Structure 1
C-alpha cells in the first residue's frame, strides 16, 4: 500500500537543498542539479504545490545556524507540509539533535520524508528505525571526515606547509604557496619599515661583531666555514646522483619514443611529451649543479688564515675606516651571523644574535623616540642651541656652532634655516630682540665699548659677562 495519501498531496512538498561549503557551491554543480531536480520527482509523485528551500547553500549541517532548516521546521509545525524531499539524509542534518527534532515534528503532523532510496513515514516504527540509522550514519560520517581533515592539517603543519594566515605584505597563491604582495605601495611601505628598523640596531650589531671578531671568534668562523664547505660538497654529490638518474630516464624515454610506430600519433605524442619533460628535469639539475659548483665554499688557504688572525688586532680601526663600504660590512655580518631575533619592549629592543656555529648573544637597544632617527643632531648640540637661543638670533647661533666645530646629524655645516629647523623640532623658542637687556645681561664687547653704561635697577656685581663676546650662561 502506498504511503502517500490524498492528505499528503493536499499539502505542500518542500525540496530542501544544501551544500556544505562555498567551494562546493561554486564547483560541485552536478550535485546542485541533482538536488534541484528533486522538484520534478515530487511532481511526478502527485504533488502540485512544490517549494524549494536553498537558503543553506554553503552551510555545514554539523550544528551551525541554518536559516533554511529553521524555515523548514517552522513550515512542518504549521501543518502545511506533506513531504520533505532531500537527496539523502545527510543533506537534512549532520547531527543527532537536528535530525531527531525533524523526525519528531514529522511524526507529530504526519509529514513524509523522501530521498532517492524511498519514502518514509516517521509514525511507522520500521521507518522510524531506518531513519534513525540513516541519521546516525550521517553524523558518524561527518565525524570521520573531520578526523581525517584534522590529521591532514597536522601532517601539513609538521612539514611546514600549513598556512592558516599569512603575514602582512604576503598573499596566498594556491593552497600551499605564499608570495609577496604585488601591490607596489605595500612593498615599498614594508621596505621602508625594515630600513628604518635597521637604522636603530646597525650600530649595536656592528659593535657586537667587532667584539666577536677577535682571533678566537675568527677561529670559530674558520671552523664553521669548513663545515659549510663539507655540507656544500655533500649537497653537490646528491645533485650529481639525481642528474645521473635523470639522464638515464631521458635515454629510456628516447628509446621508447624511437620504438613506437610513427603513424600511431596518439601514443607517439604522449611519449614525446614524456621525453621533453625528462629533458627539462635534466636541464634544471644541470643548472643547480653549476650553481653549486661555482658558489661552493672552499677552505681558506694558510695565507688567508694568517690575514684573518691579524685582523683581530686592528679590527676596530678597520671597521670604522672611511674606506670600508657598507656592502663589505654586510658581507662580514652575513658570514658571521645566522639570524637575529628581535622582541620589541616598551622602550627597548631585545635582540638575540645567533652566530654560525650555534653561539648566541643578547643585546638591548634603546628605541628611538618619535621623530628621532640616525641623522638627528647630538644632544650636546641641542643643549647648546637651547642656551644660545636665549641670547642671539639663528644666524648668530649658526656662526657660533660653526666656529665651535659642531655639525648637523649628516655632517653638514650650520645655516640659519638649519638652526631654525632644529629649534622648531625640539620646541626651543626663538630669540626675541631686547630680551637680554630685560634680563640685565651684556656682552664683553658691549661692556668694553661702554654701550651699556649703567645697568637698570641692578647692582654692578649682578652683571654677567661672557669671554667670547657673548652673554654668560
Structure 2
C-alpha cells in the first residue's frame, strides 16, 4: 500500500534523508541510532530511487530539534522541499525531523503543496491525503509531548536534589568540590586571601568602585578560573574590573549558602535565549550555612543592602549613593521639606572656593514646574558639622583606636596578598627550572624554549619580589611607632581633626552616614533643619537665612562716615592707605584702593576732596593767574618760593592754592611782581 503512493513524478525528483542526534554525547555513545537512520537509504532504493539521487543531510548531528535555530541541515531540507526538488523526505521518526509542532506542521504544509512524500520507520505518508496528514500531525504532537516529558523528568530530579541542597553546580573561583563531593574553600592560600580582601575592602570603603580602585592602586591581582578551552581549570590572575568585583559581592555562595533559582532563561522569537537575574525574594531555594564560606549570611545581606543603596544613585529616584567627591557633607541624605523628594547638590564658586547648594529639582524635572527650594549648603553643613562634633566627642578615643586597628589590618591584608604572589612566582620559576634540567641538552629546539621560559619566570619573580620589598617599606614607614603615637595623641582633638584640610571629605561623609539617616530642610523666614539620627532620635536646628548679596557687599555706615570725615583732609589714595593701616577691609576681605574709595563717594553722594576745597575758597592756578594778572608759571614759582600754598594736586595736573592773608608781594615794572617797594596786599587786591 505504501509503494502505491510512490509515483513516477516522485521518482523524477530526489530523495532526502535527514539524520540528526540531539547531543554530541549521543553521537559518540549511541551509534546504533545513527546507523538505523543511515539505513533508511535502503528503503528509498527499494521504493525505486537510484542511489545517486539519494541525498543525506547529516550536518545537524549533535544539535537539538526543539528549534530550527542553528540547524542548517533542516533549513536546507525545507528549502529543497519548497523548491519542489524533493520527491520524498526520510527520517527515522518525527522527533529526528523536529521536536517543535510549529516547525513540523510547516514542513507538512510545504510537502502537501509540492506533492512530497514523508517516510519514517513505520511507513510512507502523503501529506496531501487527509488521513496521512492527520496521522503525521498526531505524531508531531506526541513527539513534542515526549520532549516535554523528558525535560520535566530531568527537571524534577534536578529540583529534588536542589531541595536537599545536594545539586552540584559549577562553583565560583575560591570554592571547589572535595573528593566527598562537598563544597569547600580553595586550598590555594593566595586565592583565599584575594577573595577575603575583596570583602574586607568593600566593608571598609562601602563602594565596589573604590574596591576596584584599591586593587589597582596597590597593584593586586584577582583570580579567574578558566571554564573551557585546552587550559580548562587553570587559574588566570589579572587586575579586577568593576563587573568582576560585583559578581563576587552578589554571589551568596561565598557566604556558605546553597542557592538555586538565581537566574532564569528566556527564549527569544529568533530562537536565541537570554539569562535574566531573579530578585532575591523569588529565589527558589535558599539554605544558609550549608558549607564553609568566606563571610557569614548576615554580612552578605548587609553587603546587598549597601550595594542596593549605592545603586540608587544611578536610578530615577537618586535617593542615596556612596560617598563621593565634593564638599557637600549631606550628599544623598537631604530631603525637601516641601515636597518630600530627595534634594540634589549644585556646586558654585564663591571667593575662589567651591560651595554647595542643596536643590530640589523633582518638580522641575518630572512635571516641568518650578524648583521647590534651594538651600545654601555652607550654612547647613556647618551646623551639621557642629552637631557631629557634639555627638562624636565622647567616643573619639574609641573611634581613633578603631582607625588604628583598621590601618594595621589593611596593611596586613595587602602584605599577605603580595607575599603570596611572590611565592607563586617563585614556585613557577622552580617548575620552569625543573623542566629545563630534565631536557636533553642536545635537543636545542626544546632546550632553548624551556630556557627562555625559565628566564621569563625568573624575571617575573624578581619583579614581584622587588615590588613587595618596595611597598613593604612604604607601609612600614606609614605605620611606624611615631604614627601610632600621633594617632593616640589626637584622640581627644576630634574638632581639629574634623576641620583639618588634609582629611578627605569622603571620610567626613562616611561618619555622617553612620550617625544620620536623613536631614529635612525647610527654607522660610529662617532655615529649619530636622535631623533624624540612626537610632531613631531627632534633632531640630533653626538657622538664620544668609543676607542677600547686595546687603553683604553694602558698605557699613561707620565706614562711610569715616570716609566722609577723611575727605575733609585727604585725597582718595591717601584715604585708602589710612583705611588699610587701620584694619578696614571690603566685604570680600580685600584691601581698599583708589577705585573703591571713588565708588563709595559715588554710591553715597559724598563730595570729593576737590569740591570741598573749592567750597572753602581755594583757587585754581588759572584763577590765581587771572586775579594777579600773571602767567601760570609764575603761580607755580610763587608756590615754590612759599608765598602761596598748594593744598591739592591730582593726576590731571589740577591744583588748588591757599593764599595766606598776611602775605605781601612787591609789584615791579612791566607788570611783573618782585620784592621791591610799593607793596600791595594780596587779600586787599582780592577784596578790591
Range class of TM-score, shorter chain: 0.3 to 0.5
TM-score, length basis structure 2:
0.30
Higher relative contact order (CA 8 A, sep 6+): 1
Tell me which structure has the larger Cα radius of gyration: 2
Q: Report which of the two has the higher share of helix.
A: 1
